[in-house]
């Protein structure tokens, strides 16, 4: 198999200016809910890109856990690589790739920590195993082997038997406040449809078509 010969034509739909609503938050909601009705995939899976102190980018897949007029929320370990990079540079990008609709959404913005109360509220909603896992993992640090992690998990299961695991100080949420949206629809011959939303100095959002 030649990687260079792998190719897929996108022909499900087009995207015109008249198809877009004026509010990018609402446009995101419409596309997200359509994808969420699909039988497979994780509609809230998004690629988060951060930038380190040396200017080098790093990316990973995280899960969107809230979206409203304030922005987009996810939760993680503050001591992880992404947490350390966000502490030094709050500029981020988020990318959703929804294969079933041949669509992507890219969001640029700045990330800030959520309140401790909001982090606690979401932490309490997680399955017990996920809460204990968050307490075990010093994310991005070097560990000797998997057995080490499983031993730590067993210790915590014993320690907190019959009681609720507490929210770790090193774990919580981020809110990404968008400064730019881009909505992408795959088209034949790689002549994709792309529209960006940027803040309009006069108020609202400016919507512009971009070359593919």
Catalytic machinery residues:
190
142 three-state secondary structure: coil
Distance CA 185, CA 17 (A): 12
The torsion of the CA quartet 27, 123, 137, 65, rounded to 10 degrees, works out to -10
Identify the residue whose tokens are 């979206």: 67
124 three-state secondary structure: helix
Structure-block tokens of residue 26: 């609402």
Pairing of β 103-113 and β 171-185: antiparallel
């Amino acid at each position: 198999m030649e990687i260079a010969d792998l190719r897929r034509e996108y022909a499900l739909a087009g995207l015109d200016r008249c198809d877009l609503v004026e509010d990018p938050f609402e446009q995101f909601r419409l596309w997200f809910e359509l994808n969420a009705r699909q039988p497979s995939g994780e509609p809230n899976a998004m690629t988060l890109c951060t930038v380190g102190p040396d200017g080098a980018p790093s990316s990973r897949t995280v899960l969107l856990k809230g979206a409203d007029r304030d922005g987009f929320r996810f939760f993680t370990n503050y001591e992880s690589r992404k947490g350390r990079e966000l502490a030094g540079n709050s500029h981020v990008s988020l990318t959703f790739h929804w294969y079933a609709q041949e669509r992507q959404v890219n969001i640029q913005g700045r990330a800030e920590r959520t309140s401790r109360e909001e982090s606690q509220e979401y932490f309490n909603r997680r399955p017990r195993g996920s809460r204990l896992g968050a307490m075990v993992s010093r994310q991005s640090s070097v560990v000797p082997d998997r057995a080490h992690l499983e031993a730590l998990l067993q210790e915590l299961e014993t320690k907190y038997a019959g009681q609720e695991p507490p929210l770790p100080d090193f774990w919580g949420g981020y809110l990404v406040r968008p400064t730019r949206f881009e909505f992408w629809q795959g088209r034949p011959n790689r002549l994709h449809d792309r529209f960006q939303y940027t803040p309009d100095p006069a108020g609202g959002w400016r919507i512009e078509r971009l070359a593919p």
